[in-house]
Structure 1
């Protein structure tokens, strides 16, 4: 017999059975941990936060009864199977109820991508469940490995879809609940079958005694593999159609040449098939007429009736530029030598008005104007009499003004001829 089918001693098998019976019991700690894990996972799904969802996986206690179910199925231990099934059933119902209550509370929120991603299980999800079940079973046979590692490996495939089932019920989305329930059942069966195979390979049960349990596990797995296979096929076909449509839009149409195609989503099971495209482009780059022409072109290329929907995400591009003011100011600064600027500030060389072309050159213009405001002071000769001459001029100017005012007053005081005198003179 091959080495990996070696038989474990009876005391070793009995010890593992007793330990898994204790771990498969329905206890208060199991209910509390599962409740906390479900609440955290549900909130993380609404937040679309993978980190929060991983935190819920760490504390989930579903590993214990699942590993017990694997060993009980392999060995035919009805007592161990009953305990594990009861614990899993109560935990499943509790998880759905809690997530449904939270779904009713947060019903105003939208279904996030983390929620929707767990509504279309495929064979890939079965592969994840098988790997998680194998790790969980092996950790229980080796005391050196941490139980928390096995808990994370198994809970990664169970707690999130269990929460999505309750969310779908709260939102009235039957397809969401059904898809998540199929994923939950797939993971449950995959983990159980993988755990049983690991126990068989480690020699905890002879092969001839495990045939009944393995046959039952294979039958249940086959029942689930059929819908998962169809779902996987549809996923591959949709991806191919989506890639083909992306190529047609980018390479064979002028409408999508100057825009960024973000994503293309295909709904094959609608009549007609719905194609939804999302582009990032400036505002109103594509008209309704262009969308209609694109739909007609896709119908011709794909040879199937479709309904085309286009979602435009507006993008605004802003580029910095050098203003005209900054450019003129730079030209003026470079066109005036430093020594000439000093002379202008001192008032010896005024700046022409047409040289002030920007706000930055206004201080220079003010300085030039200040220098031209006192031409008399600049032209007065230097010497001891230069300070007295302005004072003499200031004294002569008031005297001349007084004489002119006196003459004007004298003219006003002369007698004016009356009307009688003027009439008499006229008669004469």
Structure 2
């Protein structure tokens, strides 16, 4: 007894493992078998549903009109979610099945009303979307709208699969026909809306493309439905009649499907060629721009003309691209594509900056939702590291502003060009020390440094800033009066000398006296002895030590009578 029970239970324990391993072929076989084993009652119910659903009633046209308007808005605003909502409402599945059954069974009444429902509804939807396209808020065509005007063979295959799913749902009462109905509407609803919008915009080529997509999808669903209805036994041998009669009924649909397939195959071949060309253009542009600091490719558009390929690329860069650089990339494109290329670069002036300085970041997120950094060439990596070192140094010098860092490649080695803004010119020794630091940090012994200085002048209402404390630190009335007295004493002593002027004098109180800086202009430079004499005379007047530093400049206005400072 126990042995028999064990033996009888063995297949039950193995069956789940077999089904789990072979679930997909078993499921497909079971689904195909179900098509041919439809009960007579279910067959009658399906035929009744198709006959009723193919009737061009007022409710049918209202639903279809609403769905097409929703689809039109979805194509305008580029909303996939809204387009799905439009496809849920569209009652386009059943009339196509009615056309298929009408052709197979020779039922002219069913065929007539199904054709009226399908194509009459399509004309109504196209007309409503045409009126929608005339409204003033229509802007540039969205990507989802453009997709409806460029059909390919892939769209035909998608429509065929949607028709297969729709017939299965109609036959199997366990499946709601609403789900595959959405799939079929996805193949038919958006092209109808696109036809109306394109006609309203005067885009007749686009309207033809959308019309071609609509007819291609209708014919594909029609053919698949006809085959499955025969397999499922919805059409008897007597209803089919002779092979000649069946061929005559399906002649128009078959010829149309063949022509559409040829056209869409050509469209698909053109699309594949276009994608390959676009990929090649992107590759060449990425390679060329990788040598340009902080430059990223945003978009590429191209078209073929009588003289070759015209390429319009939009890039983000900190400066306008030079014609020489554009020529180099253009020649590389011509060599890669094997035909003449005319390259136009639209430069959007921007700069990507991180905490350590400039960086190269692509203008989009990667598929995993993270910021994707453009790959850096060795040259750009060297430039980025040099900028980081320059920013570290400039951060310790508040009077120095780092403006730009560039790299020039010479046969003798790389040259880093650093543009700064500073009130004074760095000495050659300072440049030499910084160059040595760059070589050490970047591990580039052949690197050379060029410092490009832009003179800066910091002014307040008091005058040129020589001591920031004298301009920007609050002082009480007593301290301010003492500072003014110190500055006046030094200025009076300087301007007592012939033809010398002191347009700016700043004094700061220290523990052991006054630190004074003076800007002195005149036809000559003060001698150290004169500076010492001014210190002593000013200290005697103020009763406190004075240490004077003079910034001497030969910058005067000379007339036939006298010398005058430029400030006057």
TM-score (norm 2): 0.53
Structure 1 stretch displaced more, 75-84 or 273-282: 273-282
Kindly indicate which of the two structures has a greater share of residues assigned to helix.
1
User: Where do 1:181-200 residues align within 5 Å?
Assistant: 181-200=211-230
Q: CA deviation at 1:149?
A: 1.1
Distance in 2 (CA, whole Å) between partners of 1:50 and 1:229 is 26
Residue in structure 2 matching 1:134, options 149, 164, 186:
164
SS in 2 for 1:158: helix
Question: Pick from 40, 45, 58: which aligns with 1:28?
Answer: 58
Displacement of 1:357 in angstroms is 10
Q: How far apart are 1:144 and its partner, in Å?
A: 2.5
> Aligned pair in 2 of structure 1 residues 272, 80: CA closer, same or farther (>3 Å)?
farther
Q: Which runs of 5+ in 2 are unaligned?
A: 1-31, 356-390, 399-466, 480-568
Unaligned runs of 5+ in 1: 328-353, 370-428
SS at match of 1:33: helix
Structure 2: distance between partners of 1:286 and 1:207: 74
Counterpart selection for 1:160 from 165, 170, 190? 190
Deviations 1:242-279 (A, max 9, x none): 222222233367766752223433434x3234443434
For residue 193 of structure 1, report the CA deviation from its aligned partner: 1.4
- Residue 62 (structure 1) aligned to one of 86, 92, 95: 92
Q: Report matched runs for 1:15-414 at 5 Å.
A: 15-106=45-136, 108-205=138-235, 212=246, 216=251, 217-251=253-287, 259-268=295-304, 270-319=305-354
Per-residue Cα deviation, 1:14-73 (whole angstroms, up to 9, x for no partner): 443232111100111111111111111111111111111111111011112112122223
- 1:273/1:177 Cα in 2 relative to 1: closer, same or farther (>3 Å)? farther
User: Equivalents in 2 of 1:48, 1:21: separation in Å?
Assistant: 36
| TM-score, L = length of structure 1 | 0.69
Higher relative contact order (CA 8 A, sep 6+): 1
- Work out the CA distance in 1 between the residues paired with 2:33 and 2:155: 31
Aligned-partner Cα distance in 1 for 2:85–2:397: 56
Distance of aligned partners of 1:314 and 1:80 in 2 relative to their CA distance in 1, 3 Å threshold? farther
Query: Structure 1, residues 353-398: CA drift from partner, whole Å, max 9, x if none?
Result: x9x8998x97xx98xx9xxxxxxxxxxxxxxxxxxxxxxxxxxxxx
Cα gap change, 1:142 to 1:287, in 2 (>3 Å): same
Query: Is the 8 Å Cα contact of residues 129 and 197 (structure 2) preserved in structure 1?
Result: yes
| Secondary structure of 1:35's aligned partner | helix
**CA displacement at 1:223 relative to structure 2:** 1.3
In structure 2, relative to structure 1, the CA distance for the partners of 1:255 and 1:141 (3 Å cut) is same
Residues 7 and 204 of structure 1 are in contact (CA less than 8 Å); yes or no, is this contact kept in structure 2? Answer: no
Q: Mean Cα displacement is larger for which, 233-242 or 196-205?
A: 196-205
Please say if residues 288 and 329 of structure 2, whose CA atoms lie closer than 8 Å, have aligned partners that are also in contact: no
CA distance in 2 between counterparts of 1:239 and 1:277 reads 16
- 2:506 alignment counterpart: none
**Partner in structure 2 of residue 348 of structure 1:** none
* Equivalent pair of 2:216/2:260 in contact (CA under 8 Å): yes
1:424 is aligned to none
CA 1:50–1:8: 2 relative to 1, 3 Å: closer
Secondary structure class of the residue paired with 2:339: coil
Matched-pair contact (CA < 8 Å) for 1:39–1:99: yes
Looking at structure 2, the residues matched to 302 and 88 of structure 1 have their Cα atoms a distance apart, in angstroms, of 46
- Number of equivalent positions: 341
Q: Per-residue deviation at 1:4?
A: 7.4
- Alpha carbons of 1:169 and 1:203: their partners in 2 closer, same or farther (altered >3 Å)? same
Contact residue 298 and residue 316 of structure 2 kept, 8 A: no
* 1:302 to partner: Cα distance: 2.8
> How far apart, in 1, do the equivalents of 2:179 and 2:173 lie?
12
Q: Which has the larger radius of gyration?
A: 1
Instruction: Check 1:325–1:306 CA distance in 2 against 1; reply closer, same or farther (3 A cut).
Output: closer
Distance 1:41 1:260, change over 3 A: same
Pick which of 307-316 and 16-25 moved more: 307-316
Aligned to 1:372: none
1:10 positional shift: 5.9
Deviation, structure 1 residue 134: 1.1
RMSD: 3.6
